[in-house]
Amino acid sequence: MTHQQMTIETIEKGICLNEENWEVATLGMGCFWGPDARFGSMAGVMRTRVGFAGGTTPTPSYRMMGDHTETLQIEYDPQVISYASIVKEFWRNHYPNRDNYKGRQYISLLHYHTDQQRQTIETIRKEMEAELGESIETEIALFSQFTLAEERHQKYYLKRYPKALDQLETLYPNKGMLVDSIFAARLNGFVKGFGTKDSLRKEINQWSIGETEKTFLTSLFLSLKW
């Protein structure tokens, strides 16, 4: 496969071979741009997408959110990162107290997808309340629905670098392809200050893709003009 024939979907296909074993986490911790970058930088997090959850308003959008909350949804490989690690990262990086928010747009929210996730949340909640020295008032509930936010909100920080996006155009001929891309998630985290060039280079080298693809992604990453 030549570089001209490479798109992110063909390159990342090998990483997604065990996709049926991935699990989903859904959380809200303020403006969803930051969590998208934070969690997108973490090894084991395979996909991130931002949207709206927690409310009853039908078909929410950024301008007409209703009673929903800005939310991040994560697909992760539990063999690499545990749900407990995700929940700890969640609670350590925002203020989970209802009195700190007006309305529902930015509240602390955690939706579990399985009973095992619910049990993990309760266990970690007790640990974190002891660590933080105060009660946690995160809205915890069974997941019901998630509405994807508009394309402009996906991988927001990466999109603030038009020169880099131009260099990525062959890999991502459609900007919508950024949403489900592992590489895009890592780049979005990198430009927000999560991770280093060396850590991302090392992670790419561990991905289950061909050596040609590893070399291509690494060279492309190191050549990006920010």
- The reply to whether 31 belongs to the active site is yes
Of the candidates 50, 160, 165, which has an alpha carbon nearest to the alpha carbon of residue 109? 50
Q: Which of 31, 80, 84, 224 is catalytic?
A: 31
Helix axes 182-191, 33-40, angle to 10 degrees: 110
The first and second tokens of residue 180, run together, are 């489900």
Please give the full DSSP string across 143-171, using - where no structure is assigned.
----EEPPGGGTTTTGGG-HHHHHHTTTT
Which letter does DSSP use for residue 137 in this model? Answer: -
Of the candidates 133, 130, 112, which has an alpha carbon nearest to the alpha carbon of residue 121? 112
Kindly list the catalytic residues. 31
